[in-house]
Amino acid sequence: MADQPSRAQQLLGDLAPKMVQLTDDVLFGDVWKREGLSPRDRSLITVAVLAATFRPGQLDSHLKLALQNGVTKDELVEALTHVAFYAGWPSGMGGLVQLKDIVEAADDAARQ
């Protein structure tokens, strides 16, 4: 069975092969694997930064990854609430709305 394409490959395919390679090999293959921080901590930091800089396209996949990496829903709620006070209400609220949609979709899928 062939490996599934990475998220970068799914998004960019043949359009930007160098960006796909850098994303897969350098960002997720090296930076995310370094020993200085756990994947859980990297996820929490990444979610906070993406919410603070209002990057909803990237935040969606990183909220899902954070949950996979062991960050709880309650911890994400707290982090995004905290972000609202430092990066602006729309950043925190936008992240919380995205998290709510992700959690509800996962709950719906689990019930089926």
pLDDT at 2: 55
Question: Which CATH homologous superfamily contains domain 39-111?
Answer: AhpD-like (1.20.1290.10)
pLDDT tens digits for range 82-102: 999 999 999 999 999 999 999
Q: Within 10 Å of residue 47's Cβ, how many Cβ atoms?
A: 26
Q: CA-to-CA distance for 63 and 67, rounded, in angstroms? A: 6
pLDDT tens digits for range 3-61: 889 888 988 988 999 999 999 999 999 999 999 999 999 999 999 999 999 999 999 99
The whole-model pTM stands at 0.87
Query: What are the structural domain ranges in the chain?
Result: 7-36, 39-111
Cα dihedral 28, 30, 33, 38 sign: negative
Q: What percent of the chain has pLDDT over 90?
A: 83
